[in-house]
Structure 1
Amino acid sequence: MERTLQQRYFSTELLNWYRQHKRDLPWRRNRNPYYIWVSEIMLQQTRVDTVIPYFHRFIDKFPTIQALAEAPEEDVLKAWEGLGYYSRARNLQSAVREVHERYGGTVPDTKEEVSSLKGVGPYTTGAILSIAYDKPEPAVDGNVMRVLSRYFLIEDDIMKPKTRVRMEGLVRELIPEGQASDFNQALMELGALVCTPKSPHCLTCPVMAHCDGRAAGREETLPVKTKAKPPRPEARAALLLEGTGEHAGKLLIRQRPAEGLLARMWELPHTLMPDDGLPGPAGLAMAHERLAAHIAEDSIGIGGLTWMMQAEHTFSHIHWKMDVYTARPEELALSLFSGASAVLPSHYRWIGPQDMEGYAFPNVFIRILSAYFEQSSVPHPQS
């Protein structure tokens, strides 16, 4: 089939299908560019069903550009808690502050201005401009590249930048005049609901009749994609230091440094263990040695450890496997930890279950803290 006719068929049938079957998503109910921007940042690496309640809560808390620009970062991270990839939230707020200061709180509508904002790459630029402003800009993500690879039988590696550039050019040709908003969302929707990564639902696909990938029997082997490097494993020991005296029923937490992974978020003290360290209860002596040395740098001492649980968390480049231990402050340090006059380093806090809402934690520490408080039979808010 001649390419121009194949393209015309694709665009027409895809739009007809989308207008009948599109999901009712909260950011689709109007073309507010701020809402669309927030949703697109949240949807990076995250499923739609997961994002919806976060989106509602985030917009309720920060309903305007000004509200987000003026909010304390701690509040923004807390609202983002559980979504992961926290640099997204920091970059979003930084870019929103720029929009508030430079553009009077109105999201700009040119490619040059939008793409210059922090954390806004080619896909997000295209999504904001096309969905909010109906500009004929491509918004090419993994869903879109999968659909195009199959329909047009494109065998280029989608992990290569030149393949993305080729796909962006193709989308420009496919966008019908004046229908960029619906078309780009239709492409995303087809990839999310029908042309899925595994077991695509070809028989319900609106453009199946002229799909080159299906005709060639390649619908389940496309797109071509170089496998990403697996995350590096790290063994870690984490500490639940139990308070005494006035701090009984509380645990010690600390704030991470201002730069780097999970910057400025709160966590349990933890330290790297050797790869060949003994796991679980058998690693008690080694864990005590490592943890004691680790937090002694902050003039905090610990008594004997008790193994409690294991926990795991995967980042894009690191996989943490944690053994979690409980302990009390060492006897000589009890006076430091038991009274109201005790002075902790500024980046440490004592918290009880009722205090968790005031601090932003990575998911792995929410799970550990929740398990501890549940085991201790202390009522605590839902995390």
Structure 2
Amino acid sequence: MKYLSEVSGPDSRVKGDKDSGRVSPLLSTEVFSRRLLDWFDVHGRHDLPWQHDRTAYRVWVSEIMLQQTQVATVIPYFERFMQRFPDVKALAEASQDEVLHLWTGLGYYARGRNLHKAARVVVEQHAGEFPTDSLDAMAALPGIGRSTAGAIIAQSTGRRAVILDGNVKRVLTRLHALEGWPGRPAVERELWHLAEHYTPEQRVVDFTQGMMDLGATLCRRGQPDCERCPFADVCVARARGEQKRFPESKPKKAIPLRHTRMLVLSDEAGRILLEQRPSQGLWGGLWGLPQFDSDAEIDAWLDTHAPGAERDEPWSSFVHVFSHFRLEITPVPARGGRVDGVAEGRLWYDPQAPESVGLAAPVKKLLASLAPFALSQPPSR
């Protein structure tokens, strides 16, 4: 390696945990931050929407949206969200339905529900001000963990706070060729030790953004651009030619396939009956089509709730993929019947004039496909 003089002296090795016995060479905090910031000043991202009027609220919303979601996808959602909810009080006063409606399409809907819960906690328990003077208080808010709390504090106040999101984990894991899946507690402890060591006291806003940008734009998961990386000469994974090996993947498990049948019950006006999902669990709090395990269950439900309704043959099944399982969905159309009013937790939805309610992604796609077609025919997909 070049620049061996830049490797720290007395504290130049991170002691591995007793299980792994790993040790890794360290750059000094000063050298690491100088290299990163020199790169960030020229190549970093400086014009993202949440970097303007940089408040704790705006940074928080962006950080939650960016969890497991690309920047390009987040930007239009963030801008619509800020237009409707310009501050935490406006968000806290909104209904969950309205929040989830604006979240529809971003996925991982627990993030939206927790965002709404956290806004109410900030208003009710912190007088509408984020507790940026306390990492523990920030991390205690719904949906905010240690790294997100650090990012909010660093980005909104400029005070030193350490982050360790997926991008930062990838950079540090490759730099030190850190063995093991980062989700393992022992590996995560080592990564926090490294992140703590490298985070400087000065220019923390740019440093934390630079770490995220480096992982997102150069130290990418599939195709790292090592030639342009400011740490190429001291990266252990690159020296071994093993960049793509790090970080190690989570041990794989077979992804199960589940099945459900969704009832597409329409009235004479072409409206579709929707039900609100329980607040916890799959698609929690969102509106969707009534779900069943079999046609017999559908028939029993129709006899009770829509006597006289005619069930048609099922439409073609399709698969919706989640992170931990796949769901095969079979739409089952039905029409008519005597539906006397709509119980709480149900509504009639007009695909031609959709309401502002949060919809599960496959349900939104299915309903959108119904709008231009007669309900006697399967929608084209």
Given candidates 296, 303, 315, the residue that maps to 2:310 is 303
The residue number in structure 1 matching 2:319 is: 312
The residue number in structure 2 matching 1:91 is: 114
Q: Per the alignment, in what secondary structure is the counterpart of residue 52 of structure 1?
A: helix
The residue number in structure 2 matching 1:133 is: 157
Inter-partner Cα distance in structure 2 for 1:196 and 1:308: 40
The residue number in structure 1 matching 2:125 is: 102
Stretch moving more, 100-109 or 184-193 = 100-109
1:103: Cα distance to partner? 2.0
Change (3 A) 1:65 1:179: same
| 8 A Cα contact 2:123 2:129, kept in partner | yes
1:217: Cα distance to partner? 1.2
The residue number in structure 1 matching 2:17 is: none
1:31: Cα distance to partner? 2.4
Q: Counterparts in 2 of 1:264-275, with a 5 A limit?
A: 264-273=285-294
1:201: Cα distance to partner? 0.8
Q: Per the alignment, in what secondary structure is the counterpart of residue 273 of structure 2?
A: strand
Change (3 A) 1:157 1:257: closer
| 8 A Cα contact 1:255 1:348, kept in partner | yes
More helix as a share of residues: 1
Inter-partner Cα distance in structure 2 for 1:196 and 1:217: 15
In the alignment, structure 1 segments of 5+ residues that lack a partner are 274-287, 378-383
Q: Per the alignment, in what secondary structure is the counterpart of residue 327 of structure 1?
A: strand
In the alignment, structure 2 segments of 5+ residues that lack a partner are 9-25, 376-381
Inter-partner Cα distance in structure 2 for 1:176 and 1:346: 54
Deviations 1:309-334 (A, max 9, x none): 333222333321112232223xxxx3
Aligned length: 351
Inter-partner Cα distance in structure 1 for 2:109 and 2:312: 31
The residue number in structure 2 matching 1:30 is: 53
The residue number in structure 2 matching 1:359 is: 357
Q: Which amino acid aligns with 2:187?
A: T
1:196: Cα distance to partner? 0.6
The residue number in structure 1 matching 2:258 is: 234
Change (3 A) 1:319 1:60: same
| 8 A Cα contact 1:309 1:325, kept in partner | no
Q: Counterparts in 2 of 1:1-383, with a 5 A limit?
A: 1=4, 3-4=7-8, 6-7=27-28, 8-23=30-45, 24-109=47-132, 110-244=134-268, 248-273=269-294, 288-296=295-303, 298=305, 302-329=309-336, 334=337, 336-337=338-339, 342-376=340-374
Inter-partner Cα distance in structure 2 for 1:112 and 1:234: 39
Change (3 A) 1:22 1:297: farther
Change (3 A) 1:140 1:295: farther
Q: Per the alignment, in what secondary structure is the counterpart of residue 314 of structure 2?
A: strand
Inter-partner Cα distance in structure 1 for 2:303 and 2:27: 68
| 8 A Cα contact 1:76 1:89, kept in partner | yes
1:113: Cα distance to partner? 1.3
Inter-partner Cα distance in structure 2 for 1:306 and 1:371: 18
1:20: Cα distance to partner? 1.4
Q: Which amino acid aligns with 2:281?
A: G
Inter-partner Cα distance in structure 1 for 2:114 and 2:311: 42
Q: Which amino acid aligns with 1:321?
A: E
Q: Which amino acid aligns with 1:138?
A: V
Change (3 A) 1:309 1:106: same
| 8 A Cα contact 2:135 2:146, kept in partner | no
1:353: Cα distance to partner? 1.9
Q: Per the alignment, in what secondary structure is the counterpart of residue 179 of structure 2?
A: coil
Q: Which amino acid aligns with 2:358?
A: A
Q: Which runs of 4+ in 1 moved over 6 A?
A: none
Q: Percent identity?
A: 35
TM-score, with structure 1 as normaliser: 0.85
Deviations 1:12-65 (A, max 9, x none): 121111121222211112321100000111111211111110000001101011
Q: Which amino acid aligns with 2:312?
A: L
Q: Which amino acid aligns with 1:96?
A: A
Inter-partner Cα distance in structure 1 for 2:302 and 2:258: 19
TM-score, with structure 2 as normaliser: 0.86
Inter-partner Cα distance in structure 1 for 2:308 and 2:323: 33
Inter-partner Cα distance in structure 1 for 2:279 and 2:241: 51
Q: Which amino acid aligns with 2:292?
A: T
Q: Which amino acid aligns with 1:320?
A: L
1:106: Cα distance to partner? 1.4
